[in-house]
Amino acid sequence: MRRLLFPLLLAASAAACAPQPPRQAGPLPPLGPCPASTWHPEAPPPTASKKTSMVLLAVAEWFRFGQQTVDYPSNGAPQVERSGMQEGDAFASERVRDYWKSVGRPNLSGANHEVPWSAAFISWDIESAGVPRDQFCPDDRHTIYVERMVQRAREPDPAFIPRRLNERAPQVGDLICSSRAGGKTTLDNLDRGPGHCDIVVEVRARELIAIGGNVDDSVTRSVFPLDANGFLSPISARPFFTVIENRLP
C-alpha cells in the first residue's frame, strides 16, 4: 500500500452518479437557481481552510471505509491493491445514507445498490467543508454540479473553475471528472450525461492520489498516472474531461 505523503492527510486518521432521466429532444432546460436545503453538516469543518477541509474529510471517510485502494495504470485494467468496506455492509450502508441526506434523498442508503451515490459523496464532502451554496450547489449527478460550476465561473470570484485537461495540472483539492458508461460529456458538450468526480488528495512526480465514493462500491483511494509535465495521462478506464481548479482558501 502506498503511504500518504501529504502530512495533513495523515492527521485525518467504476465510479458512478445517480441514474439519468430520459433525454429530451432539443436544448436542455436551464438549471435555474440552486435549490434551498435544510440539511446541515454533522460537524464543523476540520480546519479554517475550506480546501484543506475537503481533503481531510475525504481522507477520513476513506479510513472509515477500510482504506480501499485501486491503481489505474497507463495501460491495462485497474488493480485493486486493498479491499475495503462495501456499501451493503450495515455500517457503510448507513454512512452512505448520510451522504444522500446532503442532496435531499434521505430515503436512500447503501442498501439501494441500484442507485449510485458517488455524486452524493462529493456533495456531502464539499458542503461539510463549509463551502457556501452560491459557490457549489450539491446534486446527485456530477455533470449537473459541473455545469453549474461552468456557469458560476463566468461570474466574479468563483471558487471552482473547470479547466481543460491540457490547461491544468491537477493540484491537491482539485476535482478530476470523467464521463462514464458511454457518456460523452465534455466542457463543450454539457449534456448532463453520466459522469464521476474524485477529490485530489496528493500529487507525486508521475501520479496523483484521489478519493471518491462508490468506486467499486466503497469510498476508494485511486492512483492515476500523470505525464512528465504533471498533466493527467489518458486512460481508457477513466475518460477524464476536466480538472476543476479549486480556488478556495
DSSP letter string over 148-205? HHHHHTTSSS-SEEEE-TTT----TT-EEEEE-TT---BTTB----SEEEEEEEEE-S
CB 180 within 8 A of CB 171: no
* 30 pLDDT more than 70: yes
- Select the more confidently predicted residue: 5 or 235: 235
Helix (H/G/I), strand (E/B), else coil: 1: coil
Helix (H/G/I), strand (E/B), else coil: 82: strand
This prediction's pTM: 0.90
Cell of 113: 445498490
55: closest CA among 214, 212, 243? 212
Of the pLDDT bands very low, low, confident and very high (cuts 50, 70, 90), residue 20 is very low
- Write out pLDDT tens, residues 172-221: 999 999 999 889 999 999 999 999 999 999 999 999 999 999 999 999 99
Which range (7-11, 50-54, 214-218) has the least confidence?
A: 7-11
Domain ranges of the chain: 9-17+47-246
* 129 pLDDT more than 70: yes
- When the pLDDT of each residue in the chain is averaged and rounded to a whole number, the result is 91
* 5 pLDDT more than 70: no
Of the pLDDT bands very low, low, confident and very high (cuts 50, 70, 90), residue 26 is low
